Each structure stands twice: as structure tokens, then as C-alpha cells.
Structure 1
Amino acid sequence: MAIDSQAAVRQFATTAGWRQWRSRIQVQLKHDASEKAKERTAVLRREVYLRVVEELVKANSHLAGLPNMDPAKVNVSEGLQGFFAAAARLQLIAEPRTALLVNKLVGEYGEMLIELLAVVQPAHDAKIDIGIADQHYTKAQGEATRVLGEMTKLNESGKPNPEMFRALGNSFDFHQQQSAQFAGDRGQAWDRFNSANLSFQRTTLAKLRDLAPRQIPVLIELRRDLGLSADLEGLEAQMEQQWKRMEERFNALIESLVQRD
């Protein structure tokens, strides 16, 4: 009977030990799985967040270059699609506050694009007129060159033909007048483009100036999500000071553009 009791105790101890071991293993496995999930999320966030910052820089550059684009040949909003797509991916993996701030920033960039498309229209119209005038100018110049060649051949042929030479001369004068007219039209279109472009750049700079301070909270939250949370308050203060200095330069540049108009 004593032997049976001892066997029962040993079996109980073995069973209890195995249960404790299994419990520890389960806890460890859950912990490892949690850490691996956090690591995967951190890596994914880092890739997506860096892409968002890169696309934001490209978006700003794209907006500044809108006047030089031909809306008949390119999609003028295409330059922002990378930023919008990266921001959409970010909102799937970001913390709620970060996703909210990024969503708001995306909305503001979308609104700014729509507003700038209206502002840039005079520049696009001028570019179209430049292209049309340049095409006609090139054609008229080509005709003038052709007629001049005919006059040269006739003059060098040794067979004078005053009537034909006079007709060629009239044709040459006509094409030269056409060239001068289209050159003038092209010059006027360039003047309109330069004025419209100046106005557009002023408006764009002002809008970017107003939008830039709202990027600071986004950048701070991105760093917080990535675990780069050391001295965020100090970093935010530094970024705000840098922005104030940039704002002064923005205002000076805008003022110089106003004076040039």
C-alpha cells in the first residue's frame, strides 16, 4: 500500500511538473509570437513611413511644376498619386492618431491640388498658344526658306525671268510677314505664360507655407510609432523653430515675386 502511495505521489509530481513546463512553454511561445508580430509591424511601418516622407517631397515638387505640364498629354494629378497611395497604406498599419493626422493631411493636399488646377489654367492656356504660334512660325519660316532657294536657283540659272522672280519675291515677303506675325504672337504668349507662372508660384508658395506647420505633428507621430520617442518634445520645438525661419524666407520670396509682377 505504501508503494502504491509513493507511485501515486511520483506520478502526481511528474504530471504537475509537466503541466508547469507546458504552461511556461505556452507563455514563452505567446511572448515570442507577440515579439515577432511587433517586429514585423515595425519593419513594415518603417518601410511605409519612409516611403510616405519621400512621396511627400515629390508631391511638393510636382505641384511647383504644374505650369510646365501639358494637361492634354499628361495627367497633372499623377505626381500626387504616389503620395496618396503611400498614405493609404500607412493608414492601414499606423496608430489611430497617426492615421487620423495623415488622412487629414492627404485631404488638405487634395484640396490644394484642386485649387491650384484653377490657378494654373491661364499658364496652361498660354502654353497652348505658344505651341500653336511656334508651329505656324516654323512652317512659315520653312516656306520662306524654300522660296528663297527657288529665287537663288532662278538667279543662278542664267535665264532671267522677271515675272517669275517678282512672284517668288512676293511669296517670300508674304511668308516673312507671316513669320514675323507668329513670332510676335509667340512672344506675347510667353509674356502671358511668365506672368501666369509668377502668379501661380506665389499662390503655391503661400499654400505650402500655410500647410507646412501641419506636417510637424504628422512627423512627430511617425517617429513615435517607429519607437523613436526620445525627446520628442525637444524635437518638435526644434522643428517649429526651423519652420519659423523657413516661413520668414517664404514670405521674403513671395514678396519678391509680388514686386516682379
Structure 2
Amino acid sequence: MVLWEAFLVWIISIPAWINSIPTVIWSGAIGALLASGMSYVGIRSANNSSYKRLRDQHVHDKLEADKQRSHDANQKEEDRKAAIRREVYTKAVEETHAALGAIGNFPFKPLDFSGTTDSDALQAFLKANSKIWLVAESEAAHLSRDLANKMSEMYLLAQASAFPLRLALDPVWELNKKLIHAESEVQRKSVKLADLAEQGADSNVIEAVQKAWKEANDLVDAIKRHRGHMRDALAPQQLAYSRKLIAEMEPLQKTMVQLISSLRKEIHLSPDEAEFMQQQLDMRQNVLALFERLFGPAPA
């Protein structure tokens, strides 16, 4: 009972104790409490704002990192594609010019030329050109197919047109073989003469070898003259073939310029199609003008 009575007395005395505290002290205490509460609210608000900024920055950084990774991956893929294209396009252009060279050289290729066939250059071109179709953009891919068709047609046309010339030149190649043998005989007899002179051989022996050496030289001269006459006789036919080739190849060369310009654009070079096309036309006109100066105007 004593404890309860003491507790009740303390409770009853609280209001009196509160009333005994001066007003100034209560004002200060309340102000401190308000300031403390406001400070807490401010700190909490600042913390929340800072947390939000950090969270937003994290989201932003993640998005930027994802974009950069995607960009790097795309750039790597583009670089790999560009490297493949450069290799493919360079090889294709080389084989295209090799095929054009084979077309121009058809009349001068022996019919029994061992080790190669007439279609080797065309097959190499078609193989290289087909890779353009695989890796190029649509414009170049379509042009590559167009070029393949035109090249194949031109190749077969040139092969057929050159056949009579190749047949007519076949004896010339046989003369070349005889000429090589005759020249080797001249060289052999020259060495023999030098050896006989050094050994002090009998003059009759030396004279006989000199006679054989002269006959070998005469044979060489005769073969060269005969070969020259045969070539001169075939010159008009060869010129007609060349002029026909220039006329027939114009669509092919136009497509080739268009394709190469398109390929240059893909590997980030200036296409310059109009300039290249004009250069091609100028070259054609210059060659025709040269033929006319050297051999006269083309037959009507």
C-alpha cells in the first residue's frame, strides 16, 4: 500500500511540477523538438532524394552500358563483315579482269595448250563473282548476277569467234617449235666451232661445221620469214576480231563499272560511277581511234 500511495502522490504532483517549469523553458524545448523534427524530415527527404538519384543514375548507367555493348557488338560485326567484303570484292575484281584478258587472248591461245582449258578463266571468275552474290547488299548482288550472265555470254561468243583464227594460227605455233629447235642447233654449232678452234682442229673439219652453222642460221631466218608472212596474212582477221570484241563488250563493261562502283560504296569509298563510266567510254573511243590510225577505218 505504501508503494501505491507513493506512486499516486507522484502522479498527482506531475501537473504541479509541469506548472512550475517556466514558460521560457517550455518554448525552448518545444522549439528544439520542432527543429529536431524538421531536421529529421529534411534529412529523410534528402536521403530519399539522394537514393532516388542514385537509383536513377544506376538505371541510366545500365542502359548506357547496354547500349554501348550493343554498339560494340554491332561495330565488331560490321568490321568483320567489311573485312570479308574487302577480301571477296578484291578477288572478284581481279578475276573479272583476268576473264576479260582471257577473252582478248583467245585468238593467240593454241588449241592444244596443255595444262589449262579454255574455260579456266571463266570458272575462276564465276566462283569469285558468286561470293559477291552471297555477301553484298541487294544492289551489288543483283549486278553481280547480271555481270555473270553477260560475262558467260561474252566468253562463249569470243570463244566461237576466235576459233577460225586459232585454227589458222595453229601452223604458226608449229613453226615456233621448229624455230626453237633451229635456234638451239645454231647455239650448239657455235659452241662446237669455238671448241674446234681452241683445239686447233683440221681446217676441213672447221669449214664443215661452219657450213652447218650457216645452214642452221639460214633455217632460222627462213622460219622467221615464213612465220611473219603467216601473221601478216592473218592480221586483217585479227583486227576484225578485236573491233567486234570492243563493240560486243560494251554492255558487259557498263555492268562491270556499275558493279565496282556499288562495291566501292559498300566498303565506304566514293563510288564515282559517272566518272568511271566516262573513263570507260573514253578508253573505248581511244582504242578505236588508234586502230583507225594504224589500220585505217573499219569496213562499212
TM, length-normalised to structure 1: 0.64
Deviation at 1:209, TM superposition (A): 3.9
Q: CA deviation at 1:120?
A: 0.5
Aligned equivalent of 1:34:
74
Matches within 5 A, 1:189-228: 189-191=230-232, 193-228=234-269
Q: Which runs of 5+ in 1 are unaligned?
A: 1-8, 143-155, 157-181
Measure, in 2, the Cα distance between the counterparts of 1:202 and 1:222.
30
Superposed displacement of residue 32, structure 1: 1.5
Query: What letter is aligned with 1:125?
Result: L
Counterpart in 1 of 2:170? 128
Sort the Cα spacing of 1:192 and 1:228 in 2 relative to 1 into closer, same or farther, 3 A: same
Asked if structure 1 preserves the Cα contact closer than 8 Å seen for 2:107 and 2:166, the reply is yes
Distance change in 2, residues 1:32/1:131 (3 Å):
closer
Listed as ranges, the matches of 1:100-139 within 5 Å are 100-131=142-173
Identity %: 25
Mapping 1:11-30, distance limit 5 Å: 24-30=64-70
CA distance in 2, matches of 1:246, 1:185: 35
Q: CA deviation at 1:91?
A: 1.4
| Other structure's SS at 1:216 match | helix
Contact 1:87 1:106 in 2 (8 A): yes
Whether the 8 Å CA contact 2:146–2:255 is kept in 1: the answer is no
Q: In the alignment, is the contact (CA less than 8 A) between 1:55 and 1:82 conserved in 2? A: yes
Cα distance between partner residues in 2 of 1:260 and 1:251: 9
Write the distance in 1 (CA, Å) between the matches of 2:75 and 2:161.
51
Equivalent residue number for residue 78 of structure 1: 120
- Which protein is bigger by CA-based radius of gyration? 2
CA-CA distance at 1:67 after TM superposition: 1.3
Equivalents in 1 of 2:63, 2:230: separation in Å?
A: 81
**Cα distance in structure 1, aligned partners of 2:142 and 2:57:** 50
Deviates more, 1:184-193 or 1:104-113: 184-193
* Partners of 1:126 and 1:192 within 8 A in 2: no
* 1:246-261 pair list within 5 angstroms: 246-256=283-293, 257=295, 259=297
Q: CA deviation at 1:16?
A: 8.6
Paired with 1:189 and 1:55, the residues of 2 have a C-alpha distance of: 33
Q: Secondary structure at the match of 1:76?
A: coil
2:277 partner SS: helix
Equivalent residue in structure 2 for 1:62, among 89, 102, 105:
102
| Paired position in structure 1 for 2:277 | 240
Give the AA of the match of 2:86: R
Per-residue Cα deviation, 1:150-185 (whole angstroms, up to 9, x for no partner): xxxxxx9xxxxxxxxxxxxxxxxxxxxxxxxx9998
Aligned: 1:99 with 2:141: yes
Q: Distance in 1 between matches of 2:101 and 2:93?
A: 13
1:55-98 Cα offsets, whole Å, 9 max, x none, are: 22222222211112123233122223333222111211100111
**Aligned partner letter, 1:196:** Q
